[in-house]
Structure formats: C-alpha cells, structure tokens
Amino acid sequence: MIDLEKIPAHIAIIMDGNGRWAQNRNLPRLAGHNAGMIAMKEIVKAASSLGVHHLTVYAFSTENWRRTTEEVTGIFKLLIIYVEKELNELHQNNIKVRILGDYEKLPADAVKSLERSLKTTKDNTGLQFNIALNYGGRDEILRSVKKLAKEVEMGRMKADAITEEDIANNLYTYGIPDPDMIIRTSGEMRLSNYLLWQSAYSEFVFTDMLWPDFTREDFEMTIEVFQNRKRRFGGR
C-alpha cells in the first residue's frame, strides 16, 4: 500500500514502448502512439487524485525528428486531438499545463492548440502537467549556458559569479522542483537525454511493461517502490 502522506512531489516519466506495443499486435506504429495517449490520460488523472504536484512526461524529444515523416506528423496530429478532447476536463480538474522545450518549432496547428491549453489553464492551482516537447536535456543546458554567456558578454554579470541556481533558473524547468522519481517503461534503462540537470538525485524506477499497458495500479506500485527507498542526496 502506498503512503498518501509521502507522495513524491514531482514524478517524471519516459513513456517508452508504443512502437513495440503496436508491432506485437501487427498494428501500425501510430496505433501504439494512440494507445500511449490513452494511457497518459489515465496517469494524469491518477497523479492528480493522489496529490502529485508536478507530473512531467517525455512526449517528443529533439532526436525524434529522425523518425519517418509519417510517424512524426501522426504524433503531432494525435497531440492536437488529445489537447482538443481533454482540455476542458484538465481545466475542470484544476490542472495546469506547461510545455518544456522549443515547442514553437512544431507545426502551426499544434502550436496553436498547445498555446490554447496554456492560456486556458494558466491560473489553475492543482497538478502541474509538464509536457516535454521538442525537448532535449543537452540542448536545454546549452540554451541556459548561452543565456548566461550573453549576460557576461553584456557586462551584467561576472563569469566566476555564475552559480548552479543561475543555470537552473534559465532551464525550461525554472520554478519546478527536481523530480523525486523518474519512471521508464519498456525495459530500457537509460535517460535518453531527459532532464539531465534535474535528475542528479532522482530515484529511478524501471519496468518491462510497455507504456500503453501501464495502468494506475502500475503507477501506484512504482510510487510504493519509491517510498521504500532511503534517499541520501550524497550523504550517509
């Protein structure tokens, strides 16, 4: 049983396995992404009801552009459908949407849909649902460093005065606490360029389950695994 008094404040997820889920059923890859969207919807609901403050999902990485045009286009279409169908429910449940990444490089109709969700939910005070889109951890850190280098170049700060906090404040996740736990499905055990700065002391929970099969019960089980660990943050 999970302890509702010790729910992690920030949970991040690498939603992996959509393609393999579809392949196992002799379905097109987009069918797997559609099933993954349905699973994501249920986990957002679960996180909100359990009292999680931040839920961050890895929806589209900077490397995902290497996939076929058909798959990339299909993913964005599914994203628009998800936002259009779920926006009212997200808003009614006091969920705030935030986008992490250079999402303005997405197709115009996807950007328009995303910005409508940001505007509609901006004042909500419940779960903050962070969607990482066109996001890469190295790109994010480089972006932060370039901003600080510009400040030094303009004479507004000294290089030797730059702190970790300065770097963090220029990341996409500024104002968001580092994830307490990161879940990755599908049996893979790597970060894949996800939240590299923020995951310094995150607890990792890996499962062989493919993302579309991941349920609320599985989500609660990963939280239970987290709660049974002792976090030391470099101490003893």
Catalytic residue among 64, 169, 170, 193: 64
CA separation for the pair 44, 57 (Å, rounded): 10
Residues near 231 by beta carbon (within 8 Å), at least 6 away in sequence: 201, 203
Residue 34 annotated in active site? no
Residue 16 annotated in active site? yes
Q: Cβ distance 48 to 86 under 8 Å?
A: no
Q: Cβ distance 11 to 181 under 8 Å?
A: yes
Enter the tokens of residue 125. Answer: 């005070």
Sheet of 181-184: strand order equals 96-100, 128-135, 54-61, 10-14, 181-184, 203-206
Q: What is the DSSP-derived secondary structure letter of residue 44?
A: H
SS (H, E, C) 97-153: EEEECCHHHCCHHHHHHHHHHHHHHCCCCCCEEEEEEEECHHHHHHHHHHHHHHHHH
Q: Cβ distance 173 to 151 under 8 Å?
A: no
Q: Which residues are catalytic?
A: 16, 64
